[in-house]
Structure 1
C-alpha cells in the first residue's frame, strides 16, 4: 500500500472510531432523560445498534462529498447534481430508519415532536434535523481529509526543499575541494623540483586533509573537533610552504561533539591564503580565534595582505561561503572587513537556532 493511502486509511479509521464513540455517548446520555425507566444496559445496547445503523447511512454521504471535491471539469458539474440526489436519498433513508425502525422497534414508542404530537415520516422540522445531522458529519470528515492532504503537501514540499538544498550544498562543496587539491599539488610539484626536505611531510598532511574531504565531509554534519583538526592539518601544510608565515590558532570549545556542516570553517582559512597570505611579499601572518560557548560559535580570522594587492581578486570563494551559510544557518552573522594591511572576518553561528534544516 502506498504511504498516502496508508496514511488516509489510518486517519479516516481513527476519525470514524472517535465519531462513533462520541455519538454513542451523546445518544446514551440523551436516552437517560427520554427513557428513564429502561435499564442502562438495555439503553446502551440500543444506542450501540442504532448508531451503527446511522453510521452506515452517513459514511456513503461523506465519501460522496469527497468524491465531488476531487472531481474536475464538466464531470464536477455532473457530480454536483448527483450529490444533491445523494443528499435527498440520505435524508429519506435517515428518516425511514429513525421513524420506522429506531422508535417503534428499538425504543418501543412512536416518534413524537417534543413528546406531544406524533411525527410523520416526512415532516419539515424533523427532515431538516436529519439534513443538518448528515451535513454536519459530512463536513467533519471533509475537514479532516482536507487537513490531512494539506499536511501531506507540506511534508512533500519540505522534503523537496531539503533535497534541493542537499544538491546545492554538494555542488558548492565540490567547487572547494578541487581548488585546494590543485593548488597544493602545484606547490608540492615546485617543492619536489627543489628537492625540499619538507616534501614528504606535505604529502602526508595532504593525504589526511583529502581523506577528510572525501570521506568525512560527505556527511551533512560532523563534530566540530574533527573539523578543527582538519583546519590544523591544513595550516601545517601552509606552514611548510610558507617558512615566514606566523600562525596563531586559539580555540576554546566547551562541547567538542557539537555538530557543524563540514568544510564551512576551513573555507575562510583557504580564502585568507588565496587572497591574502599568498600575495604578501613580506612576512605574512594569520590569526584564528575560535570560541564555542553554550552552543554559540564565534569565529574570528585576521590575515595579512599587501597594501596594494597584485591582480584582481574575484572573491568567488567568499560568495560560495555566504551561500552555504544562508542555506545551513539562515540566522548567522558574517562580517568581512579589509584594511590597508589585513583582512578581518567575523562569523557567529548560533547552533541553538532550530531553523536550520
Structure 2
C-alpha cells in the first residue's frame, strides 16, 4: 500500500486535480439537458467522478503493477471483475438510497423499469457489470493512461538528453588536456630557443584557450569559430615545424552552418602527431572543408613516415573520442571514411546539415 501511495504522489497533485476537473467539466456540460437543476448535475456526476477515480487508480496502481509482477492474466481478470462488482454495489446503493429518492423526476423511466429489483439483483446484473459499468467508468482511465505515458516518455527523453550532455562534457574534458599538452610543449620549445615567434604563439594560444573555455558550452557553434580554431592551430604547428612541413587549408565560407565544437581539431592533431612529428623529410598536411547540398565535408590528408608505416592511425584516444561524440550528436547523420596507406593517411568526415 505504501508503494502505491508513493507512486500516486510521484505525479504532482495539481496534475491529478486538473485532469479530474477537466473530466467533470466535460460530463456536466455535455449532459445538461437531462437534468432539471444544477444541483442534480453536480451531485450525479460528482458521484460518477468518485467511482471513476476509484476504478482508474485501482487499475493503474494496483491491478496493472501486480500483473507486471506475476504475469498472470487470469489473476488480473479476477481482480478486474471484483473491482467492477464492488464499484457496482456502491453505485447501486448510492443510486437507490440517494439519487432516485432525491430526484425522482430525473430517474422516473429507470424506476419504472428497474424499481422492483432488489439491491443484490441490480448489483449482479451481468449487463451492468460487464458492459455498461466498464464502458462508462473506464473512459477517463484511457486518457489518464495516455497522459502518464506521454509524461514518462517526456521524462525519459529529458533524462536521455541530460545523460548525452554529461557524456559530451566528459568527452570534451578528455580532449582538452590532450590538446593543451601538445600546444604548451610547442610554446616551451620556442621559449627555450628564445624565439621571436614566442609572442605570436602566445597570442594564438590565447585565442584558442579563450574559445575552448568560453566558446564551447553550446551544443552547436557557427562553423567559422571552428575554422578560426583550426587556423590558429595550423599557425602554431607551422611555427613549430617551420620548413619541415607544407600546410594547406582550403575552405568554403559557410555562414549559416553550425557544428558541434571541438570535433574537427582532433583530425588535424592526428595528422601532425602521426604524420609530421616523426617525419625526417618534408611532410605534407592538407585540410579542406566544403558543402554539397545539405552535407558538410571535412577532409584531412597527410604523408606518413615509412618508419611508422606499419602502425595503425585508426586507434587512439582522440579519434575514438570523436567517434563517440559523433554517435551522440549525429546519430545516423554522419560518416567517416579512412584510407590508411603505406605513405599516406586520408580521412573524410561527412555531416548532415543541422
TM-score, structure 1 as length reference? 0.79
Q: 1:62 to 1:125 in 2, by over 3 A?
A: closer
Given the superposition, is the C-alpha separation of residues 233 and 99 from structure 1 closer, same or farther in structure 2, using an over 3 Å criterion? same
Instruction: Specify the alignment match of 1:20 in structure 2.
Output: 28
124-133 or 50-59: bigger deviation: 124-133
Contact 2:309 2:343 in 1 (8 A): no
User: 2:39 & 2:134 partners in 1: Cα distance?
Assistant: 21
Q: Deviations over 1:222-268 (max 9, x none)?
A: 111112111111111111112132222122244x2433211011111
User: What is the DSSP-based 3-state SS (H/G/I as helix, E as strand, rest coil) of the residue aligned with 2:306?
Assistant: coil
Which residue of 1 is the match for residue 323 of structure 2? Answer: 322
Q: Match for residue 252 of structure 1?
A: 252
Alpha-carbon distance in 1 for matches of 2:48, 2:126: 15
Indicate if the aligned counterparts of 1:91 and 1:130 stay in contact, CA closer than 8 A: no
Deviation, 1:2, is 8.2
Q: Which moved more, 1:204-213 or 1:214-223?
A: 214-223
Residue 88 (str. 1) matches residue 89 (str. 2):
yes
Contact 2:309 2:342 in 1 (8 A): no
SS of 1:142's partner is helix
Distance across 1 between alignment mates of 2:305 and 2:96: 92
Unaligned runs of 5+ in 2: 1-8, 67-74
**Superposition deviation, residue 328 in structure 1:** 0.6
Partner residue of 1:60?
A: 50
1:10 lines up with 2:32 in the alignment: no
Please say which of residues 122-131 and 277-286 is displaced more in the overlay: 122-131
Partner secondary structure for residue 345 of structure 2: strand
The residue that corresponds to 2:168 in the other structure is 169
- In structure 2, how many angstroms separate the alpha carbons of the residues matched to 1:277 and 1:190? 16
The answer for the alignment partner of 1:111 in structure 2 is 109
Q: TM-score, normalised by structure 2?
A: 0.80
Distance 1:299 1:22, change over 3 A: farther
Matches within 5 A, 1:274-285: 274-285=273-284
Equivalent in the alignment of 1:40:
none
Shift of 1:210: 1.0
Change beyond 3 A, Cα 1:243–1:257: same
Pair 1:337–1:138, CA change in 2 (3 A) = same
Deviation at 1:96, TM superposition (A): 5.6
Q: What CA RMSD, in Å, does the superposition of the two structures yield over aligned residues?
A: 3.2
**Counterparts of 1:202 and 1:196, CA distance in 2:** 10
Q: Match of 1:184?
A: 183
Verify the 8 A CA contact 1:54 1:94 in the aligned structure 2: no
1:133-153 Cα distance to aligned partner (Å, 9 max, x none): 443232111112222222222
Equivalent-residue separation in structure 2 for 1:147 and 1:49 (angstroms):
32
Residue aligning to 2:71: none
Structure 2 Cα separation of the partners of residues 328 and 339 of structure 1 = 29
Matched residue count: 325
Question: Aligned in 2, Cα 1:4/1:297: closer, same or farther, shift over 3 Å?
Answer: farther
Q: Deviations over 1:84-107 (max 9, x none)?
A: 4332111343456664454x4358
- Rounded to whole Å, the distance in 1 between the matches of 2:160 and 2:183 is 35
* Secondary structure of 1:330 counterpart: coil
